[in-house]
Chain A
Amino acid sequence: MAGRIPLFLLACGSFNPITHQHMRLFELARDQMHQTGLYRVVGGIVSPVSNGYGKHGLVASKHRLAMARLALQSSDWVTVDDWESQQSDWTETVVTMRYHYRRITAQYQQRTGERKDPPTENSGKPLLKLLCGADFMETFKVSGLWRDDHIEEVVGRFGLVCVSRGTLQTDRTVHESDVLSRHRRNIFLVREWVQNEISATEVRRALRRGYSVKYLLPDSVIDYIKENNLYTQDSEMKNKEIKLRPLNKQTILQD
């Protein structure tokens, strides 16, 4: 894979809890980006959202981080990062992206600075793209959830790798949005041919009702959930009356 651009994939989300489907996103995205012939995927980052996000049923970030770490123990290229969850307030996706981009660039500069001989396979400044599912792209349409200049930066400056579930809805979503269409060359659509709808919402529902979730998430995560009695009627009630933080924060900024 000489001469390819090194690429990091960043997935932001609740990970409430992490499931096999989340982990599949990384695998599918890596395969696809390699097939373009242009990129070499060197790392994956799972960045669980902070508690400040205020999403309905969100359990404490320390748990979501612990579960993600357990799930990714066996992965040799995807890691969990807690920077976003450590911030005092909810952080816009683009801010998280900027942070990670600075970090990987600094690492790269440190490595190339130290190296005496000319850089070979690892040469080239690494890029960072946002990894997401099709539902994520739909959220760009939700009024007040995203700032226009942020969408522009996420898609234009960084780029998206979007995994869809076999329908061509993502094509349509790009087509129906001017900003997405303008940057369509920076949006990589990955088809997931296997219908695999392991939504965390369904997993939480099953847990509340005492049904098995084995084989939908790693055993280690299931054990953790049981030991900490994580997903209950009470936990699902959390933030019920609260408005999602982006809807508050961005209104204030726009005033």
Chain B
Amino acid sequence: MAAVKDSGFEALEKLKSTEPPVFLAPSSISEVARVASQYLFTKLKPHNPKSPFDELLVDGFDAEQIWQQIDMQSQPLLSSLRHEVKRFAKNPKEIRKIGGLAAEASLEGDVDEMDMDDDNDVEDDDDELEAVESGGEEEEEDGEDEEEEEDGEDEEEEEDEEEESEEENEGIEDKFFKIKDLEDFLEEGEAQEYEDFFGGKKKETKRTMKDVIEDEEAGDGNQGTEKLSTHEKELLKLQSKIEQMEKANLDPKHWTMQGEVTATKRPKNSALEVDLDFEHNARPPPVITEEVTASLEDMIKSRIIEVTATKRPKNSALEVDLDFEHNARPPPVITEEVTASLEDMIKSRIIEARFDDVQRAPSLPTKSKREAKELDDSKSKKGLAEVYEEEYVQKSNPAFAPATFSDELKKEASMLFKKLCLKLDALSHFHFTPKPVIEEMSIQTNVPAIAMEEVAPVAVSDAAMLAPEEIFAGTGKIKDESELTQEERKRRRAKKKRKFKGKAVNNIMLVVRRTAYIVIVIVSNMFYMSLVEQLNLQIIR
């Protein structure tokens, strides 16, 4: 291979040295070109593991076929070379890493070039042969080949340089995944943020230590991650905002937000800048003018003094506009007409007997006196057992409760009266009135309506039940003996005395009247008797 290499290298050198017009004409330079191209192919083979050819097959192939082989090898190489070029364009520092290898690569690249040239020459020879046979077409093809060769040479140089650096990462890398591409992207992103936060690198000198540290941290971060996703960018923005707000909270507040602030606590003339708005509780002091004082004085004068007629000058009340309320109607002016109308009214009223007397409030018609438990002084005829028996019966079955004492009295009284009435009617009317049927009397027992309603006895009608007013008359404010105050006791006693006195006076009057009557009767009798006696005496005489 060394001989081949050398030959290839020589062929390349030869191609380089030949002048351009030589390529246009068919010459023996095609052999040289084939050898050179073969050399280049074998040189590039390690960088292209996927190519099916181990070496460029030149013998018996025409130019087109040789070109196809070269194309198959060079296409992927070209794309990778483009990537590498872009990378180096953005970060020229990378190139220094490959600095050491570059010198070696360049040498090898030259050797490859030479091989490629030889190969191309070989192709050209074949082509020329065919061209001779076919005609002038081969010249064009040669020209094309040559142009392509030149292009290929340039690209191959670049490919070589980049391929050397690629050799390092061949283990992980693929056509799709290149770590260097990832690193490039991250660094891109960081570089952008770097510019966003700190406005580029221009303001380095002005920043404080803190910022420098932050820059260093950011820088450290930047070194690791250049390209960030949108989500990560947003997160970083949020974090920065949070940091700003936290910083604002920790700092001491502005004086307007500090509550009660006196003049010493706020900076000078700061109240002028702030738009203060507070309620004015006190009215602004009134503006004192002569008019105001005059009116005030008048008011005071008028209010202070109650002036009687002697204290004010004569007829002065006429001048002043007095204003006071008239509580009483003005007394009516008495004229003949007024009196006449009044008298007419009085007369008519008398005739009608329509006196506006105060009427007593009508009492309830069937107001039954409360069952006054009269203290019975006599020894009770019923035994205690019977008493409790009655009580129990009343409680349990109110309908069948025996009539109370007053009920019996009432019954008896009404019976007696009916008999009396019957007799009187019979005596007074010419036409005989038959004995009336004594209707059944319904006994109104003083029993709570609820009990009656519950039992619902048929015999008792609802109408017979007593209304609450009939059971108890008066307000609910009943005071026990012990609750009465001294005044109330006195009042009660006085009332009792008055009532009793009234009764007593009536009694006394009754007694007096009766005695007087009797006396008169006696006296008259006596007088009559004496008269009769006198008459008798006279008659006798």
- Chain B associates with chain A: no
**Interface residues, chain B, with chain A CB atoms under 8 Å away:** none
**Interface residues, chain A, with chain B CB atoms under 8 Å away:** none
